[in-house]
Amino acid sequence: MSPTAPPPATTTVRRGPVPGARRYPAERVPGGRPPVGERARTALRYAGPALLGHLAVRLLGVIVLARWTHLRHHGLWPVLAKSWDSNWYLGIAAHGYELTPPGTEEPSNLAFFPLYPVLVKAVAAVTPGSRASVALVLAVVFSLVAAGGVFAVGDRLHGRRTATVLTVLWAALPVGVVQWMGYTESLFTALTAWALYCALTGRWVWAGSLAALAGLTRPTGVAIAAAVSLTALAALVRARRLAWRPVLGGLLAPLGWCSYVAWVGLRVGRWDGYFAVQKLWANEWDGGAGTLREMRDLLVYANRPPLFLVVVTLVLLVSGALYVLSLADRQPLVLLVFTGALLLVVLGSGGVYFPRARFLLPGFPLLLPVALALSRARRTVTALVLGAAAVSSAWLGAYMLMVWPGPP
């Protein structure tokens, strides 16, 4: 699956509307289907500016971080490959899941979903590199796959220019450095972006399969599962007839998330086992009371609030505002359900506050109103905004890893 450029000398064909979508551009379909290699090259040329922009932003972030680690007498590779949650995933890849003895208060690695460590273990078994190196390489590769998916969604809705701006904006998020760390955000965003694209284009079985894999990657996989399932149901209602592809896609979507949660329940020996494990990590859903309390303490009562927590708070507030704009813009249903469910899970959590901006990293459709506005602005304005975003992302990423004392 990859974005395809409109080839020359073709016939224009318009597809029917996808449920919840505002508009869809015409697609050009050639008379004969070209070979796979040619289609891949065409797609890469078409998405090339967006992918190069993504690479440039992330390379700038690595350069700034490398300089910062050198000044602090640290190594760049350990910071990216073996920090915080990365070690938990590497531990699962090496030793599997370990059940915390009943009655103890020690956090369990059952809180971490299995797809990423399984991939790390599988690839490391057939390559000479260490598991940490493999994990880092996979994160970088999946970030490029994710960038392609972000571009494909943007191009489907608003054309190539907006899609390119959207891809660069996603790379330049304040916590964008996590895309090239041994974390699951790149893999999850890749699966989510292409699941959304498949839902937008009516490829329901692909959408459901990718959503199921996303559900095996992160707890927030429940958001993409809900988005694909509900949109498939809406498609059936609109069609007023039973079609097997939307039914199968809608049934597949939640299988990954539900299967892992059920497996943890069996492993722990109680139906709510996964949520009991999360409770040991101080993660519970409280409807947003904890989030509002943290915001009040930071913005009202704190004399000198930590910079990183202020950035996290601003990301949460801006994300909420962007969701309102997305509603007003009448984005396609699948995007609104996904970002709405993602915000509901992240903002409604009463657990640790500092990783909330990272948890929202896969919510790239929230950036669509900004990308659309920038694509309509003068090129100078667009370049200045994207450049400022890239520089700030590079500095904040280095600050987050080298100054902030906790996990990103």
DSSP states along 178-243: GGGSSSSHHHHHHHHHHHHHHHHTT-HHHHHHHHHHHHTT-TTHHHHHHHHHHHHHHHHHHHTS--
Can you tell me the mean pLDDT for 43-66?
95
The more confident residue out of 196 and 284 is 196
**How many CB atoms are located within 10 Å of the residue 46 CB?**
19
What's 13's DSSP letter? E
Contact assessment for residue 142 and residue 187, using Cβ atoms and an 8 Å cutoff: yes
Tens of pLDDT, residue by residue over 179-201, are 999 999 999 999 999 999 999 99
How is 345-357 classified by DSSP, letter by letter? HHHTB-S-STTHH
Indicate the residue type of 325.
L
The more confident residue out of 103 and 247 is 247
Q: What share of the chain has pLDDT > 90, as a percent? A: 72
- Cα-to-chain-centroid distance, residue 400: 19
What does pLDDT average to over the chain?
89
Assign 351 a pLDDT band (cuts: 50, 70, 90).
confident
Residue 241 reports pLDDT greater than 70 = yes
Question: Tell me, what's the pLDDT at 22?
Answer: 41
Contact assessment for residue 358 and residue 408, using Cβ atoms and an 8 Å cutoff: yes
Assign 18 a pLDDT band (cuts: 50, 70, 90).
very low
Can you tell me the mean pLDDT for 210-221?
97
Alpha helix stretches (DSSP H) within 159-184 = 160-171
Alpha helix stretches (DSSP H) within 240-378 = 244-252, 255-268, 273-280, 289-296, 307-328, 333-347, 356-359, 368-376
Q: What is the C-alpha separation between 173 and 377, in angstroms, rounded?
A: 20
- Cα-to-chain-centroid distance, residue 172: 13
Question: Tell me, what's the pLDDT at 26?
Answer: 38
Calculate the alpha carbon distances from 233 to 223, 237, 327, 389 in Å.
Answer: 15, 6, 20, 38
Residue 28 reports pLDDT greater than 50 = no
The more confident residue out of 84 and 256 is 256
Buried b / exposed e along 188-219 (16+ C-beta atoms within 10 A): bbbbbbbbbbbbbbbbbebbbbbbbbbbbbbb
Question: Tell me, what's the pLDDT at 98?
Answer: 83
Tens of pLDDT, residue by residue over 126-172, are 998 899 999 999 999 999 999 999 999 999 999 999 999 999 999 99
* Residue 299 burial (C-beta neighbours within 10 Å; 0-12, 13-18, 19+): middle
Lowest mean pLDDT among 31-35, 66-70, 226-230, 388-392: 31-35
**How many CB atoms are located within 10 Å of the residue 381 CB?**
12
